[in-house]
Every structure is written in structure tokens, then in C-alpha cells.
Structure 1
Amino acid sequence: MKPFDSLSLAAMGVYASGFLIVCVLSIAILVMVIMLRARKRVLAISISLVAVSMFTLQCLVDITGHIYFHHELNAVAGSFAKLPCGIVLAILLLSACIVIFCLVLILRKKKRVITPSAVKESLDTLPDGICFSDEEGRPLLVNLCMNRISGDLFGQEILSSTIFWESLGQGVFLNEAKLLRTSPAITVQNTDGKVWDFRRRKLLIDNCWFYEITALDVTELHDLNIELTKRNAILAEVNRRLHNYSREIEKVTAEKELLAAKCVSMMIWAELFWPIVPGI
């Protein structure tokens, strides 16, 4: 089998293209492995793939330069140039198979692993606002809804959760929003009519304290509460009238009973003292 450096330029270009593709895929796999925090074994394999593919590409560049530009070959590139074409092809095919295998494993793992970007995308789809910050108030994770609420109320995104929370409690807003209550939660009605219920709690994670601020859309509950208050007022008025009506009925009934008693008493006195007329 003839050595590798005896191949034509077109054939070397095919080999170089193959190793270039393997190199690019190896680098992509290495990046995904780091992002997914895969096992050390997979990380070692991906690093080895990148090293082998880049080493092979460098050897191909040196061989091409030696053939067409008469550059001197170092010992490693010279040894690689004398390798049989079958061995070089075997290295290329083996590297490609390992790359494909690693790529399949990583794609399968990616479906089972929740990445930070996936968490952020999920939080951004929530209709309610949420903000995580450290103990000093520095925001660590804020979804789109919470930043939008902060923009409506204060004209900017959350830069400090501490200042944001204090401003909510003080009712210092740029627009005509209304502070409805501050306990047990801070409730604010925005100019668009939406009512937000803000709550904050302290979390201990890995011996570190964090703050979680949530904003729940309670517009429907607030409207129902107002409607319930109105209905309770109407029911209270109806109950008052019924109570007065009941008292009137009791009064009229008592007067009727007293009048009936007087009539019976008069009839008894009439029978006792009225002169008896003969023939009647």
C-alpha cells in the first residue's frame, strides 16, 4: 500500500476535508459536554478527539507545504507522511465513528438534562413574575414578566431586588399605579387594570441565603372580591330591612293579640253586668 505523501492533491484534499469536519464536530461536542456537565470520561474522549483531529490537520498542512512549497517536515509530520493510506483512512473513519457515537449520546443526555438556558426559557413563558437574588439584592435570575412589571412601575428593569421591594412597599411609582395593601402581601393595581400580588421569602441553598420575589396576577380574584363586597353590602341591607319587617310584624301581631284580648274582656263584662231583657 503506497504511503500517504504519494497521493494526489485532490486525494489529500478529501482527507483534509474529512479531518476538518471531524475537528469541527469534536469542538462542538466538547462545548456541549462542558455545558451539560457530562461525566469526566466523556469529557476526556471529546478532548482527545479535538486533539487528534487538530494534530492530523496540522500534519496534513505540513505535508502539503512540503510537497508544493518545499517546506521542511518535522519528525512527526514526516512519520505521518510515510503512513500507508489505509492507516490514515482507518484513523479518519474511527474518529468519525467516535464523533457520531459521542454526538448521539450527548443529544440523548440533552433531552434528559435541564440546562440553565432551558430553565430561563421556561420561566420567561410564565404569566407571573419571579426574581431570584442573593442576600445583597443582586439579581441572579429574573423572568420577562417581572422585568416588564418593574419597567411599568419604575421605568427600568430590576437592578436591585432590595430597592425594588422597598419601592413597592412605599408605593413610589412613575405611573398612576395604586398601592392597595402592604400586608400580608404587597398588592398593586397597575394602570392597565391588572392587580399584582407581590410576596418575598428567604431561601437557604447550599449554606447561602437567597431571596425569591414573586408577582402573581390576582386581577380576577380582586374583581371577584370587589363584587363579593358589593353583594355582601346588598345582603346586609336586605337583612336589615327583613329584620325591621320582622319587628313590625311582631309589633302588629302583639297589637292584634292585645286587641283580641280586650274584645274578649269586654264581652265577658257585658254578659256579667248587662241587664237581661225578658224574651230576648
Structure 2
Amino acid sequence: MNIGDLVVRKSYGGDVTFRVEGLQLDAAVIKGTEFRLIADSPVDDLIQVPYEPQSAKTRQAHIKAHQTLSRLQQNRMEQAERNREGLVQDWSAAQQEPAYFEMPGKVLHLDGDPNYLKKSMDLYEQLRVPAEGQYVHESAMADTLYRLLPKVRPDIVVITGHDGVLKTRQPYDLYSLGSYKNSQNFVSAIQVARQYERHLDALTIVAGACQSHFEALLRAGANFASSPGRILIHALDPVYVAAKASFTSVRDTVNMSDVLHNTISGSQGVGGVETRGSYRVGLPGLNDLSTLKVNPSAV
């Protein structure tokens, strides 16, 4: 067995596929390929697989991911039609339908896993969400946000990576941050972001990973967080929430039903508080500057 191999765990019935990230004597550090889960496992509990098998959980996640993506794209088309109808009504004296431009909310995405970051950035591009991504270890996220927030000036911050309830803390206390692998790091990063912008509608924060301390993340100032039911969340759930906020009008609040029921992990995976969107429409439509005929006037 080598680093990079795909494996499943015999003791869990092969329900989740992992990639081997580290090997030490008879133990391995493994990361989920679809779920934001990091774990250690005895090597003899691992079965190497030549490709990612389609377990029932993986198949269900793929189906839900496709449905969620389709729903977001459908929402975008409906929003474009609402924009057109609203502008025609407001611009009733115009001889023709007015052109407009869009300003979706800008995302700064910090991820503790480079593979998940790449998947996330690909999805932002597919959804046409303006986004900047950084691979940052969870322990360095607070310092990184302190440096990046004034420079990037995002509307939405995603703080995610790996987390989980620690097996070594037995009996564990789900109320204690000490029972979680990275929830304290996420809390520290949220606090830095809230020092930068305290208003929940001026900076939307999406935070957490698998089994994160949902209540602590909200108390620290997150708008949306995982995981109310301390379950595994899909790698792309934070992206779907951020995209929803990015393309929800500043005049509206993010549809909480969509967040709770249309993310891949569902209502026990992600939750949050009422939050205004970050999407704006501008008038008039932007010109193609290469076609403008301009008479220079400045001396």
C-alpha cells in the first residue's frame, strides 16, 4: 500500500472511499474522496481498490450533487427572467428592453484540503461565481484571513477543510471544542473575520466540515455552518451554500429551505441563520470598449 492509493475500510463495510495520505508502521492517515473526513486506520482494516467504487452512499451523493447543481442553474435562469421583467417595468419609457450587468457576491474560499479546493474552484467556475481560493492548513486559517480579507474584500468567506469528533477523547463531550479535531481553528478564523466585518449581512461566513461544532461556529459569527447532526458533509456542500448567497439579491434573504434541504448532506449537515444575499444588478449594460468611438477631451 502506498500514499495516494484508494482504499475502503472493512470495519465500516466499505461505505466511504478514502485516499491514503500518510503511512506510519501499521497505521494509515486517510482522507475521504467525496466527504470532508480525515481519519486514521490500521492498515489491515483497509482494502485497496483500483478505482472509486460506487457504494450506496457515494451513488446517493452523486445523484444529490447533480440535482443540486441543476436546481442552482434553474434558479439562475429564473433570476435572469425576474431581472428582465423588473427592469422593463422600471424602465417603461425606454424604447427597447434595457440591458443590465450582474454583480454576484465575491467568494474567498479557504480550504484545508488541496483536492477539495480544486473541486470547489471548478464548481465556482461552472456556476459563474467570482471566487478566489487558498489552500491553507486549518491551524493557519485565522492568520491567513487577517492578511487576505483587506486585500480580497470578499462578500462571502468559506472556511472549511477537515474536522471530526476525536476518537481519543473518550467519553467525548459534544459541547466541548476540545472534542473536535479542527472546530477551534474554524472558530478562531470566524472571529478574525468578524473583527474585520461584524455585520452578518455585509460579510457572509460559511464555516465547518465533517462533524464540526455547529453551535460554536454560529456563536463565533458564522452565517451558515456544519454540522447540526454531527454527520459527514459532502466536500462541495460549502460551495453550494456560498453560491446560493452569491446569487441571492441584496433585497432578499437566502432561502433557508434551499440551504437545509438542497445541499447534498441535508438539514443535519448544514444549517444557519437568516442572511441577505450579495447579488446586485447594474444599469446600463456594459459597453464593448473596443467598439466605442470616443473624442478625447482631456489635456
TM-score range, shorter chain: under 0.3
Larger Rg: 1
Q: Where is the strand percentage greater, Structure 1 or Structure 2?
A: 2
Normalised by the length of structure 2, the TM-score is 0.21
Q: Which has the higher contact order (CA 8 A, sep 6+)?
A: 2
Normalised by the length of structure 1, the TM-score is 0.22
Q: Where is the helix percentage greater, Structure 1 or Structure 2?
A: 1
